[in-house]
Amino acid sequence: MIIYNVTEAIDIDTEQEWVRWMRTHHIPDVMKTGKFEGYTFSKVLGTPEQDQSASYSLQYRCQNIEQLEKYQNENATQLQKEHAAKFLGKFAAFRTVLEVVE
């Protein structure tokens, strides 16, 4: 099992709009690609920057690295562009790939 983790910090004044948009648009669009089996959407607690931004982690699960690579090659660029256009200058993101050991 592979986990594609996207951690984002979003400006506090945009947080509620962003969370709504993620739930109603972005996450469903990612899942519609058929590359992932499920996801977990979590708020990161206790970060020192919490006065100016809120942090969230999205963990998408797929069976193998080939599925993730298909997503990255076929879908990721367009979905990331849509996100960036909507929240330009309001967020920072970084991505990690994890392999489940147990």
Q: Which residues pair with 98 in a beta bridge?
A: 3
Say if residues 94 and 80 touch (Cβ distance below 8 Å). Answer: no
**pLDDT value at position 49?**
61
Q: Where are the domains of the chain?
A: 2-97
The region that residue 9 occupies, defined by phi over 0 for left and psi between -120 and 50 for alpha, beta otherwise, is beta
Mean pLDDT of 76-88: 96
Supply the mean pLDDT for the chain. 95
| 2-97: CATH number | 3.30.70.100
46-58 pLDDT, tens digit per residue, is: 766 667 889 999 9
**pLDDT value at position 52?**
84
Say if residues 1 and 63 touch (Cβ distance below 8 Å). Answer: yes
Mean pLDDT of 16-21: 98
Return the percentage of the chain with pLDDT > 90, whole number.
91
Is 80 exceeded by the pLDDT of residue 36?
Answer: yes
**pLDDT value at position 58?**
98
Q: Residue 98's pLDDT band (boundaries 50, 70, 90)? A: very high
CB burial class (10 A; 0-12, 13-18, 19+) of residue 34? exposed
